[in-house]
Amino acid sequence: MILALETSCDDTCAAVITRAGEIRSNVVSSQGIHDRYGGVVPEIASRHHLELVNAVVDTALDRAGTALDEIELVAVTQGPGLVGALLVGVATAKGLAAARRLPLAPVDHLQGHVAANYLAPDPIEPPFLCLLASGGHTLLARVTERGAHERLGGTLDDAAGEAFDKGARLLGLGYPGGPALSRLALEGDPQAFAFPTAARVGGLDFSFAGLKTALLYKVRELGEAEAGRRRADLAASYEHAIVESLILRVERALAVEPGARLAIGGGVAANARLRERAAALGVPVKIPPPELCTDNAAMIASAARWVQPVPFPGYLDLDAYPTAA
Ligand code: KG4
Ligand code: ZN
């Protein structure tokens, strides 16, 4: 069995899975304290990880009905992410592994989102195209083997999840904005406002900065009272633009790789509209259940199965790597 930790952002996560990719436990403790600041405060996130991590690991072992003695491999997110937050997971994983002379697998967070698609039941087999859309990243990749992905395109500015979060903030919704904005969007008309999808950005790259600005201008143009009345329409149209922008690039990628299958990962893949749109593309599509799309440690454990583990004591000086600026 594999025990994995994930602390790259504001969720403290631990999971136990089997080598075959069956989830025995998957614990996510959301800090829920960043809402009042409208985003994640790195220092606060690190401190909360420190307070929560041991209890989260214990809960994951308990729920899996196992103990450290039965764990053969410890895995941890090494990066990218908030470096102080990552360090809590890395230090904890080192301690757990070293105490039992276990090997340690350092896992790339994005590879983790891809590997959510390899968990049981019905894991996808490469090759496939993969859309990754989270709070920190948006990219299209070709996956030909399990431990790697080849980048085909990425965002030129904001990530898709960031666009959700910033739009939500403009509409006076809390953080994280994605779930709140899409709930509000259910009551609105996605065709009410025509927001840009950056279709002019050619190839497989994404851009969301113009969309965010378009929402800001629209809110100003409507005025506070009217924008307040039409919040649901604004949310629905904004969500529609993000989803269509993502789907447009996927369609472009599929056009040059006919017959390719598609997998989707990252927090934005929890979005119901995106899931519906992807399912209607006419190609086989694999999307993990929503709780495996947003940050979790089961996906990190899954990815660890294709990482060369570092034997004890080689990992004692292992470092986290932050998000590239
Ligand atoms: O993968 P993730 O949990 O963390 C990162 O690696 O960034 O993604 C978090 C992002 C946030 O921006 C959040 O607003 C977005 O995913 N998100 C959603 C939904 N659930 C989470 N966006 C749209 N619709 C959702 N249902
Ligand atoms: Zn993530």
pLDDT digits (tens, 9 = 90+) for 223-261: 999 999 999 999 999 999 999 999 999 999 999 998 899
Chain-centre distance of CA 172, in angstroms?
23
Residue 73 bridge partners (DSSP): 2
pLDDT of residue 38: 73
The total number of residues written for the chain in this structure: 325
pLDDT of residue 325: 60
pLDDT digits (tens, 9 = 90+) for 84-120: 999 999 999 999 999 999 999 999 999 999 999 999 9
Pairing between strand 2-6 and 11-17?
antiparallel
Which of 164, 183, 274 to mutate for ligand 1's pocket (most ligand atoms within 8 Å of CB)? 164
Q: Which two tokens stand for residue 226?
A: 């009217």
Binding site membership of 153 for ligand 1 (Cβ less than 6 Å): no
pTM above 0.85, yes or no: yes
- The share of the chain scoring above pLDDT 90, in percent, equals 91
Q: Which two tokens stand for residue 157?
A: 């500015």
Query: What is the number of other CB atoms lying within 10 angstroms of the CB of residue 22?
Result: 13
Residue 12 bridge partners (DSSP): 29
Instruction: Check if the beta carbon of residue 118 is closer than 8 Å to that of residue 146.
Output: yes
pLDDT digits (tens, 9 = 90+) for 38-64: 778 888 899 999 999 999 999 999 999
Atom number in ligand 1 closest to CA 160: 12
H or E stretch at 279: helix 272-279
Nearest Cα residue to 116 out of 253, 295, 321, 247: 295
3-class SS of residue 191: coil
pLDDT band for position 277 (cuts 50, 70, 90):
very high
Atom number in ligand 1 closest to CA 266: 1
Binding site membership of 81 for ligand 1 (Cβ less than 6 Å): no
* Prior bond of 127 cis (ω within 30°): yes
